[in-house]
Amino acid sequence: MRKDLVFGMAGSGGDGIVSAGDSLLQAAAAEGYHGVMTKSFGSQIRGGESSCRVRISTSPILNPGGNLDVAVALNWEDFLKFGAELPVSGNTVVIYEAATNIPVDQIPLVGVTPLQVIAVPIAAMAKETAGTERAKNTVVLGLIAGWFGIGAVAVMKGIRKKLAKKGEELVEANQRAFDAGRAFAMEHPLKVSMAIEPSETKGQVKLITDGNDMCAAAAIFAGCQFFGGYPITPSTEIMQFFTDQVWKYGGAVLQAEDEIAGIGAAVGASFAGKKSMTATSGPGLSLKSEMMGLASIAELPLVIVDVQRGGPSTGLPTKTEQSDLFAAAFSAHGDVIRPVLAPTSVADMFRITVEAFNIAEYYQTPVIVLSDQEIAARKETLDPIDTSQFKIVDRLRPTATDLQDYRRFKQTENHISPISHPGMLGGTYLASGIEHVESGAPTNSGSVHARMNDKRTKKFDPLKERRDLFEVLGNPDAPIAMVAWGSVAGVCREALAMAQAKGLDVKLLVPYLLYPVAEGIYNDFFRSVQKGLVIEQTHLAQTFKLLRMHLDLPKGVKPLARSGANPFLPGEIVAALQNLLAELQRSHEGNLQPQE
């Protein structure tokens, strides 16, 4: 019996492959499994290629998985478009549409011999049982239930609920299609059984959501009452969640006329005393940079979510990448520190978003949450989160004494000045993008400018000591190390477990705080390190370079960097770590050679 299965399915938009993935994930959750689902699309609005990847496991899942255990191709042309996103190996069972008329020994997968290849007349079964080929996805779900033991009851329960309003006839048609798929699987058992073990946590409540919805929910939990934004893939769902919910909490949402107006309204709302946010993706981040600088100099709390996609410019709008790191850290001119946080999964998106608001409020600064398309769009099953353990921070308000002689940008010991807002008697001041003295009055003075730059940058010193925004996994004294953030961290977590199982002495650093660079924490981490990899989905090794800019990295630490939409597989990372170990051993042996 298997403990973990990775499904990858591809077809055209009309094949309903993504809704099949949704049904599978929900059924798995209902049966007590942990699950992660990611989606990937071509750029057509409708009818382009689409795929999903569903990983189901009896234990918590760290990432969407590497090679597929099960590949489902409704047609090969679409399947192949996803390339490395749906990697087939010698351990994969490949299921494909028989109507493609390709013999099982001639499927167009180059350089790999799958474990088993099965042609199934999916379309024909759908037509026969449901009267339409559109029921292909339900047939596939039946096949999965039959072969892999997931969702025999729960899938149809979910479909029934979803379609109840549309009438019994449709539900019945789906039931017939599902049964036909399941019967086919029963009649054609796999060469090697791949059924999954029953889950021990069956019956426990699970949440299912994706990174974008989780981010928005966390923001509302943190007290966010205003969202200003503009539609942009892959971040738009955050705004959509707000339009659904924020009114209920006395807040408002504005779909602005452009990216600049979106963040501008959020800056205004923050000035007016409300916690506020905006969300965007790379092109929008570029447009928002002037406003981010304004929020920095006016010392206004603000959370900006950047859901990264492939760049530059329009780039790859529907694919994930980590290449906005430099833009997140450095966008906007002038000497600015703007904290950048990155979640690594849907689960920790909650904590990181709440933390972003807390940091924004405490330090009176814009904060960027650097999400990515994969986290944003992937659905995870989650155990319920105990929200009572999260502390909510609000900005420092002036006291009655402060208001007697109110100076908005007063120098204080920790460089943080009480902030008033319109409506507060005695607190009127001028917020400005122009340099200002303590009262807020504009100035041209070089010495004031230097002092204020000092205030605005030194206030972040304590942030660089926040060890709780970093995670070290593995042996803390290991000589071989990995550094990874965002969705790539999940792959590295799994690679770490695999490497440890092979006896490698490796550790992994996952920074949730990317900027400002916490030199002390990295130096501590690298102290034992001789060889290492900074693993990232950027073409230019931006993370590695950002660290090098701030630290003297050990010579043996190198980037493992590649462009987005080419996911890392845990196996290849383990192989790279093994190479490092071999190099290390060779150099040790070299050192042992007698000196000439």
Tokens for 535, please give them: 């693993």
Tokens for 27, please give them: 């059924």
From residue 587, alpha-carbon distances to 428, 582, 583, 592, 596 in Å are 66, 9, 6, 9, 17
CB closer to other proteins, 267 vs 510: 267
Residue 247, interface with other proteins (CB under 8 A)?
yes
Indicate which single residue of 223, 317, 554, 556 sits in contact with other proteins (rule: CB under 8 A): 223
Dihedrals phi, psi of 306, to nearest 5 degrees: -115, 110
| Smallest distance, other proteins to C-beta of residue 267, A | 6
Best CA proximity match to 580, nearest among 563, 553, 596, 558: 558
Options 57-65, 259-267, 502-510, 520-528: segment touching other proteins (CB under 8 A):
259-267
**How far is Cα 474 from Cα 496, in angstroms, rounded to an integer?**
7
Best CA proximity match to 125, nearest among 117, 114, 111, 136: 136
Residue type at position 29 = A
Residue 290, interface with other proteins (CB under 8 A)?
yes
Please report the DSSP string for 322-365 in residue order: -TTHHHHHH-SSSS----EE--SSHHHHHHHHHHHHHHHHHHTS
**How far is Cα 23 from Cα 151, in angstroms, rounded to an integer?**
9
| Smallest distance, other proteins to C-beta of residue 33, A | 13
Residue 294, interface with other proteins (CB under 8 A)?
yes
| Smallest distance, other proteins to C-beta of residue 207, A | 4
Indicate which single residue of 115, 195, 252, 584 sits in contact with other proteins (rule: CB under 8 A): 252
Options 99-107, 268-276, 365-373, 564-572: segment touching other proteins (CB under 8 A):
268-276
CB closer to other proteins, 426 vs 476: 426
**How far is Cα 229 from Cα 239, in angstroms, rounded to an integer?**
7
CB of 408 closer than 8 Å to CB of 386: no
Q: At 517, which helix (H) or strand (E)?
A: none
**How far is Cα 491 from Cα 62, in angstroms, rounded to an integer?**
7
| Smallest distance, other proteins to C-beta of residue 354, A | 11
Largest alpha-carbon pair distance within the chain?
87
Size of the site for other proteins (CB under 8 A): 73
CB atoms within 10 A of CB 250: 8
Options 23-31, 90-98, 184-192, 491-499: segment touching other proteins (CB under 8 A):
23-31
Options 132-140, 291-299, 319-327, 470-478: segment touching other proteins (CB under 8 A):
291-299
CB closer to other proteins, 291 vs 546: 291
Residue 298, interface with other proteins (CB under 8 A)?
yes
Determine the angle formed by the axes of helices 259-271 and 282-297, rounding to 10 degrees: 30
CB closer to other proteins, 260 vs 540: 260
Tokens for 215, please give them: 């981010």
Options 257-265, 463-471, 550-558, 568-576: segment touching other proteins (CB under 8 A):
257-265
Which residues, 6+ apart, have CB-to-CB distance to 466 below 8 Å? 513, 518
| Smallest distance, other proteins to C-beta of residue 214, A | 8
Options 263-271, 316-324, 457-465, 489-497: segment touching other proteins (CB under 8 A):
263-271
Indicate which single residue of 261, 304, 534, 541 sits in contact with other proteins (rule: CB under 8 A): 261
Best CA proximity match to 192, nearest among 56, 90, 58, 75: 90
| Smallest distance, other proteins to C-beta of residue 441, A | 6
| Smallest distance, other proteins to C-beta of residue 120, A | 29
Residues 172-211, one symbol each (x = binds other proteins by CB under 8 A, - = not), give ---------------------------------xxxxx--
CB closer to other proteins, 226 vs 362: 226
**Residues from 447 through 486 that contact other proteins (CB under 8 A):** none
Site of tokens 């122009």: 434
CB closer to other proteins, 269 vs 535: 269
Q: Is 445 in a helix, a strand, or coil?
A: coil
Indicate which single residue of 245, 457, 475, 578 sits in contact with other proteins (rule: CB under 8 A): 245
**How far is Cα 484 from Cα 561, in angstroms, rounded to an integer?**
10
| Smallest distance, other proteins to C-beta of residue 384, A | 7
Dihedrals phi, psi of 71, to nearest 5 degrees: -115, 130
| Smallest distance, other proteins to C-beta of residue 433, A | 5
CB closer to other proteins, 310 vs 366: 366
**How far is Cα 482 from Cα 375, in angstroms, rounded to an integer?**
20
Residue 248, interface with other proteins (CB under 8 A)?
yes
Options 82-90, 117-125, 417-425, 555-563: segment touching other proteins (CB under 8 A):
417-425
Residue 264, interface with other proteins (CB under 8 A)?
yes
* Residues paired with residue 507 on neighbouring β-strands, in sequence order: 474, 481
Cis peptide before 398 (omega within 30 of 0): no
Label the pairing between strands 366-372 and 302-308: parallel
CB atoms within 10 A of CB 39: 21
**Residues from 420 through 439 that contact other proteins (CB under 8 A):** 420-434
Q: Is 506 in a helix, a strand, or coil?
A: strand
**Residues from 57 through 116 that contact other proteins (CB under 8 A):** none
Residue 393, interface with other proteins (CB under 8 A)?
no
For residue 188, the number of C-alpha atoms closer than 13 Å in the C-beta half-sphere is 15
Indicate which single residue of 171, 316, 385, 393 sits in contact with other proteins (rule: CB under 8 A): 385
Indicate which single residue of 101, 106, 313, 388 sits in contact with other proteins (rule: CB under 8 A): 388
**Residues from 343 through 382 that contact other proteins (CB under 8 A):** 350, 382
| Smallest distance, other proteins to C-beta of residue 280, A | 14
Residues 542-581, one symbol each (x = binds other proteins by CB under 8 A, - = not), give ----------------------------------------
Please report the DSSP string for 1-45 in residue order: -BSEEEEEEEEEGGG-HHHHHHHHHHHHHHTT-EEEEEEEE-S-S
| Smallest distance, other proteins to C-beta of residue 385, A | 6
Indicate which single residue of 14, 121, 268, 516 sits in contact with other proteins (rule: CB under 8 A): 268
